[in-house]
Amino acid sequence: MMELLQVAKVYQKNSHRIAALENITLHISRGEFVLVCGPSGSGKSTLLLTLGAMIQPSAGAVRFNGREIHRATEKERTLFRRQHLGFVFQMFNLLPYMTVLENVLMGQVLRQPGDEATARQWLERLHLQDRLQHKPSELSVGECQRVAMARALIKKPQMLLADEPTGNLDAANAGQILTALSEYHRQGGTVVMVTHGSIGAIRADRTVYLEQGKLVA
């Protein structure tokens, strides 16, 4: 489904050359749950953003169902994200001026009839049915992350990219997020989740480790 072939990402800052990713080759199959582990600064987020076509690699190739994403134009990559990907970030990134329901609906770029009903279903599954008209500032961090989760899932993406989604949460809230991820995975969704430590509560199909921009296992 998605493959990285000898991908490198180098940042040049003044005279400093920072290699965020080096010679990464990774194959992710449809329906697979891949956990990417590694210490802070190991390149996990860069890897995730490269998978999400948010970062253009300095070298190597990124393919999605055979399509060369690394050669795509900005417009094509935007379309690719819109059609196939869902994102969940550690900091939620909810729009502060919108209600919970509106935030979730934002996940569906091209609205269709029935989107609101779908959004309500997801929010109910994530135990947020009483919070539909609340603003993010009125929610707990756990609730915010569940809203972000619902926003990512409303369009039924083929692949969900989660960047430390439980990093800010207590055990109970983290458990709810991981349950939602597992449920999405069970329904055939592909998950790539980045974390700085192993998460016992989740059963990933595969765990890969990154250290200083390189895959070590």
Measured CA to CA in angstroms, residue 166 lies from 34, 45, 150 at distances of 16, 14, 15
Name which of 95 and 201 has its Cβ closer to another protein.
95
- Laid out side by side, the sheet with 67-68 consists of 16-28, 2-13, 59-64, 67-68
Contact pick of 6, 29, 30, 91 for another protein (by CB under 8 A): 91
Is residue 83 near another protein by the rule CB under 8 A? yes
Q: Rule CB under 8 A: is residue 133 a binding residue for another protein?
A: no
Among 18, 65, 67, 109, binds another protein (CB under 8 A): 109
The structure tokens listed for 192 are 């790539």
Is the CB of 10 or the CB of 205 nearer to another protein? 10
**Residue from 5, 106, 132, 141 in contact with another protein (CB under 8 A):** 106
Size of the site for another protein (CB under 8 A): 28
Asked whether position 95 contacts another protein by CB under 8 A, the answer is yes
81 binds another protein (CB under 8 A): yes
State yes or no: residue 93 binds another protein (CB under 8 A).
Answer: yes
Residues β-bridged to residue 3: 27, 63
Residue 171 is a binding residue for another protein (CB under 8 A): no
Nearest Cα residue to 32 out of 141, 217, 188: 188
Beta bridge partners of 191: 33, 160
Q: For residues 24 and 7, is the Cβ–Cβ distance under 8 A?
A: yes
Which of 109, 98, 96, 106 lies closest to 133, judged by CA?
A: 98
Q: Work out how close the CB of 203 gets to another protein at its nearest, in angstroms, rounded to a whole number.
A: 27
User: Is residue 107 part of the contact set for another protein (CB under 8 A)?
Assistant: yes
Q: State which amino acid sits at residue 176.
A: Q
Find the binding residues for another protein in span 47-76 (CB under 8 A): 49, 52, 54-55, 74-75
The strand pairing partners of 19, in sequence order, are 10
Using CB under 8 A as the binding rule, whether residue 113 contacts another protein is answered as: no
**Distance in angstroms (rounded) separating the CA atoms of residues 217 and 215:** 6
Contact positions vs another protein (CB under 8 A) = 45, 49, 52, 54-55, 74-75, 78-83, 85, 87, 89-91, 93, 95-98, 102, 106-107, 109, 151
